Structure 1
Amino acid sequence: MQDNAPPPERPDTGTVADAYSRNWVDLYAPAATRPYLRLSRADRPIGTWLLLIPCWWGLALAMLYDGRASWFDLWIFSGCAIGAFLMRGAGCTWNDISDRDIDAQVARTRSRPIPSGQVSVKGAVIWMIVQALVSFAILLTFNAAAIRLGILALIPVAIYPFAKRFTWWPQVFLGLAFNWGALLAWTAHTGRLDAPAVVLYLAGIAWTLFYDTIYAHQDTEDDALIGVKSTARLFGENTAQWLRRFLMATVGLMGIAVVYAALPNAPVLALAVAVCGPWAMGWHMAWQLRGLDIHNTDKMLQLFRVNRDTGIIPLLFFAAALVL
């Protein structure tokens, strides 16, 4: 997942600057589809993982909460994966449509499909609608409460691209959007929204503040020149201290969510195993802090990408708790 070496020669000149070297889009996708797949960030899968993982957290804790599982949960698991890929693509397309003028002024983003001229705004709008409609079709297979939540998710998604224009905390809006799946998957399983899911959602937002502040440090110089706000610019040299606070909030809130979810029906051993998940996640976040160098953009990208593993760690503990 990490890639520190200079990228090898790539087979397509339209490659986006911060894409994984020799990614499947550049190597194998038909040429006509590459600009649209790049627009959806298919060449940069970390965002899909970061959107999907809270969904799986929510599903696992919901199953722990009511002590039941069904074949439909396998569809929730799979449907969330497909939906995360599509909705991340639709959201990124909307983000790039909204930010096309800003992206053209930032070194890391000017190679994206719209500012580089690979995709027209009209083509991007059509592509966004197609992805959203397929996602909506998946959503319709869930219960009515989950469908309503899925529709409400469009609000933070729509606001996020503009947040950096009016607040120093746009990462909060990203967290609201990216962790909505914790609420959705919980509700898809239980048929209602319960308190543990809300606390888990808050834990996810704290985690997003952690990893996206790291990510935003890649663009602080360009952002300052064009007047774009971010927590990275706000915190500056105090970033490490703030990240520690987000770490503690993530672990603490997730721990509360786990205890609250497990107490009604889970065995004591399952509760003990599940509680270890946030603890282990916190150690992985602490490991990232030891390597933090806000002036090294390559290092910031590397640390951002390892957050896929950060999020999977508690999921493994939740899965173990379910089989006890």
Structure 2
Amino acid sequence: MTTLSRPDLTDIHKGDWVDRRLPPLWRPYIRLARLDRPVGIWLTLFPCWAALIQAAQGIPDIRHLVVFTLGAFVMRSAGSTINDIADRNFDGHVERTRFRPLASGQIGVTQAIVFLALQLALAASLLLFLTPYTRLIAIGVVPLVFLYPFCKRFTHWPQAVLGAAFNWGMLMAWAEITGHVPAGAVLIWAGAIAWQIGYDTIYAYVDLRDDRSLGLKSTAVLFGSRGKAGIGLFYALTVLAWALGGAMLGMSSLYAIGMMVIAAHLAWQIWQVNLERPDVNYRLFLANILTGGFLAGAALMGTW
């Protein structure tokens, strides 16, 4: 087994652009919102853009793009704040998270809650630009956002809850543009959940040792040495759901080409996964930004 030094695993690096360019007062809030680690923003945005493109049967109008992009950005940041508030007593004992603002004492819980209230207020203000039906669907994600951080205490499937919340914007996109959410769109959303379970399991193997010592649960803890098979299963379900959902939505044959590219990319990830190499698994997790880009590209090609 390869042993990495602690600095190789921490997700906050001293002396980065946050430390170099921002005032000290701002730094813990930027990190709390994960603006220094935007991978989660991209993983939220690309599926949302794909749904917007499919619902609009092409490039959506600029208003929808702006509102949904800001919404994904703000809600992902708010979810990160909620997660750090809930996990503040665990994060200090996890190699990857020990330098996060709450875990390291850079800010207090009260300050984090005030910051969260501002984030949620900004997200709520974006609902004013959406239809009443879309607002109703948007409300449905709030319980998931608050539930997720506590899931690892009682279920091995926190990634499923996170996947539902992360990709909720896909359902909202269809509701906003077409006034309804077709079955094909729900299937593609379910595929996005399966995708998230897959790539977040890869990510969970980075923390496997620490999660076990703290008694926390995850799909990585559940799968153990069978991780490759588990990840492969959910990646296969991802491609199947996205392909069938696209067919139900009337995507063109070019969409199928996009699905083949995604299948090849996910197969490469499974081939590369090394359950004993957190550094490799973290890079594979980041590679899913490309998967999201492929999905958005396939959606666009499917409308031609």
TM-score range, shorter chain: over 0.9
Counterparts of 2:107 and 2:179 in 1: how far apart (Å)? 41
| Residue from 232, 247, 254 that aligns with 1:273 | 254
- How far is 1:20 from its partner? 6.7
- How far is 1:31 from its partner? 2.3
Q: Which residue of 1 aligns with 2:128?
A: 140
Q: Which residue of 1 aligns with 2:291?
A: 310
Q: Is residue 94 of structure 2 the alignment partner of residue 113 of structure 1?
A: no
Counterparts of 1:201 and 1:284 in 2: how far apart (Å)? 19
Aligned with 2:206: secondary structure?
coil
Q: Which residue of 1 aligns with 2:52?
A: 59
| Residue from 28, 31, 48 that aligns with 1:35 | 28
Confirm or deny: 8 A CA contact 1:25 1:42 kept in the other structure.
no
Aligned with 1:288: secondary structure?
helix
Query: How do 1:189-200 residues align onto structure 2 when only pairs under 5 Å count?
Result: 189-200=177-188
Q: Which residue of 2 aligns with 1:213?
A: 201
Q: Is residue 85 of structure 2 the alignment partner of residue 97 of structure 1?
A: yes
Counterparts of 2:185 and 2:119 in 1: how far apart (Å)? 27
Query: How do 1:226-265 residues align onto structure 2 when only pairs under 5 Å count?
Result: 226-262=214-250
Confirm or deny: 8 A CA contact 1:216 1:231 kept in the other structure.
yes
Confirm or deny: 8 A CA contact 1:20 1:44 kept in the other structure.
no
- How far is 1:317 from its partner? 2.3
CA offsets, 1:281-316, max 9 Å, x none? Answer: 111111111211111111111110110011111211
CA offsets, 1:183-207, max 9 Å, x none? Answer: 0111111122221211111000000
Q: Which residue of 2 aligns with 1:165?
A: 153
Aligned with 1:228: secondary structure?
coil
Summarize the Cα distance change of 1:75–1:321 in structure 2 as closer, same or farther, 3 Å threshold.
Answer: same
| Residue from 12, 17, 38 that aligns with 2:10 | 17
Counterparts of 2:103 and 2:145 in 1: how far apart (Å)? 21
Counterparts of 2:97 and 2:46 in 1: how far apart (Å)? 25
Q: Which residue of 1 aligns with 2:64?
A: 76
> Unaligned regions of 5+ residues in structure 1, if any?
9-15, 263-269
> Unaligned regions of 5+ residues in structure 2, if any?
none
Confirm or deny: 8 A CA contact 2:163 2:192 kept in the other structure.
yes
CA offsets, 1:141-193, max 9 Å, x none? Answer: 01111111111111111110011111111111111111111101111111222
- How far is 1:210 from its partner? 0.7
Counterparts of 2:79 and 2:238 in 1: how far apart (Å)? 24
Counterparts of 1:69 and 1:191 in 2: how far apart (Å)? 18
Q: Is residue 167 of structure 2 the alignment partner of residue 186 of structure 1?
A: no
Q: Which residue of 2 aligns with 1:266?
A: none
CA offsets, 1:3-28, max 9 Å, x none? Answer: x9x989xxxxxxx9314786542332
Summarize the Cα distance change of 1:24–1:148 in structure 2 as closer, same or farther, 3 Å threshold.
Answer: farther
CA offsets, 1:95-154, max 9 Å, x none? Answer: 110111111221211110001011110000011111111111112201111111111111
Q: Which residue of 2 aligns with 1:130?
A: 118
Confirm or deny: 8 A CA contact 1:277 1:315 kept in the other structure.
no
Confirm or deny: 8 A CA contact 1:20 1:43 kept in the other structure.
no
Q: Which residue of 2 aligns with 1:11?
A: none
Aligned with 2:41: secondary structure?
helix
Counterparts of 2:74 and 2:199 in 1: how far apart (Å)? 22
Summarize the Cα distance change of 1:69–1:296 in structure 2 as closer, same or farther, 3 Å threshold.
Answer: closer
CA offsets, 1:195-236, max 9 Å, x none? Answer: 121111100000001110000001111111110000001111
CA offsets, 1:219-268, max 9 Å, x none? Answer: 11111111000000111111111111111100000011111112xxxxxx
Moved more, 76-85 or 152-161: 76-85
Aligned with 2:152: secondary structure?
helix
Q: Is residue 273 of structure 2 the alignment partner of residue 292 of structure 1?
A: yes
Summarize the Cα distance change of 1:74–1:230 in structure 2 as closer, same or farther, 3 Å threshold.
Answer: same
Confirm or deny: 8 A CA contact 2:54 2:299 kept in the other structure.
yes
TM-score (norm 1): 0.88
Confirm or deny: 8 A CA contact 2:54 2:300 kept in the other structure.
no
